[in-house]
Amino acid sequence: MSGTRSLCCHVTTATSSFAILYLIGNLLELGDIIRKASWEKTHSISYHDIKSARCDHIFDISTNILMLVLMSISCVFVLFSQRKGPMFVLPFVMLMFVDLGVSFLSLFNGAWGLPGTPKYKDVLQVTKYYKGVDRLDEEDLGHFTMGYTVFFIFNVLLKVYVLQVSMRCFYALMEERAPGMHVDTGHTVTVKLPSYDEALTVKNEEAPPSYEEP
């Protein structure tokens, strides 16, 4: 991980900016989950709900809230990394590894994916709601699938870039914190050493004159 600049700013500044964006998104997603849970608690009819289904639903909401809280804490740690050290960036780096991994798993099962990750089913429902239809025809469904594929690939590439920048930020802070650590600046110095025969012919320098007080 070489280099300390990303696009037009330092990697620490870029990582802090990404952490702020993730923090805002997490708080908005957390508020939306709490709003939906409160609305369901007020308007749902518990007599028609299956007990096991309600337990699974409560478990999903609890894990999503817990995951959003942990993600928000890791983003807050990044904001103090320049003063506290590179270890405060490590939770955010691990989060990006997990986010990238479950993003690929969400292709096979929509249940995978961290909270806030756009899923095909959810985006399709939003599209049908704004179009005012219950079902898309084949042409519209093909256009939607193609658009979602492009969006998903762009989202994954963006996460890969954030992961790379956060790792470079971690190593950059490590180099700043470690005194005397060798940092490659790209400049090399070549020194020609004498051969063995030349070293034998070198005479010892005369001893310096003794110091006498005036």
* pLDDT tens for each residue of 51-62: 546 666 677 778
Residue 214 lies in a domain: no
Label the pairing between strands 9-10 and 5-6: antiparallel
* Proportion of the chain above pLDDT 70, given as a percent: 69
Average pLDDT over residues 145-163: 88
Question: Residue 190 domain-assigned?
Answer: no
Among positive and negative, which fits the CA dihedral 123, 124, 127, 132?
negative
Helix or strand (DSSP H, E) at 9: strand 9-10
What's this model's pTM, rounded to 2 decimal places?
Answer: 0.68
Residue-level length of the chain: 214
Per-residue model confidence as pLDDT tens digits over 69-85: 888 999 999 999 888 88
pLDDT of 78 reads 92
Nearest Cα neighbor of 112 from 73, 166, 63 is: 63
**164 in a structural domain:** yes
Give the residue from 152, 120, 145, 167 showing the smallest Cα distance to 18. Answer: 167
Q: Is 151 domain-assigned?
A: yes
Which residue type is seen at 193? Answer: L
Model confidence band, residue 147 (pLDDT cutoffs 50, 70, 90): confident
d(CA 173, CA 181): 12
Question: Is 187 part of any domain?
Answer: no
C-beta neighbour count of 127 within 10 angstroms: 17
Predicted confidence (pLDDT) per residue in 184-200, tens digit: 445 555 555 666 566 66
pLDDT at residue 213 in the model: 56
Q: Is residue 15 pLDDT above 60, yes or no?
A: yes
Q: What is the mean pLDDT of the chain?
A: 76
- Here the tokens at position 54 are 């309600």
For residue 92, what pLDDT band results from cuts at 50, 70 and 90? very high
Q: Are 15 and 92 in contact (CB under 8 A)?
A: yes
- Is the pLDDT at 22 greater than 70? The verdict is yes
Q: Within a domain: residue 104? A: yes
**Total structural domains within the chain:** 1
pLDDT band at 151 (very low <50, low <70, confident <90, very high): confident
CA distance 75 to 77: 5
Q: For 159-170, write each residue's pLDDT tens digit.
A: 899 999 999 888
Could you tell me if residue 192 is inside a domain?
A: no
Domain that holds residue 71: 6-179
Domain membership flag for residue 184: no
Quote the CA–CA distance of 169 and 15 in Å, as a whole number: 7
pLDDT at 185: 47
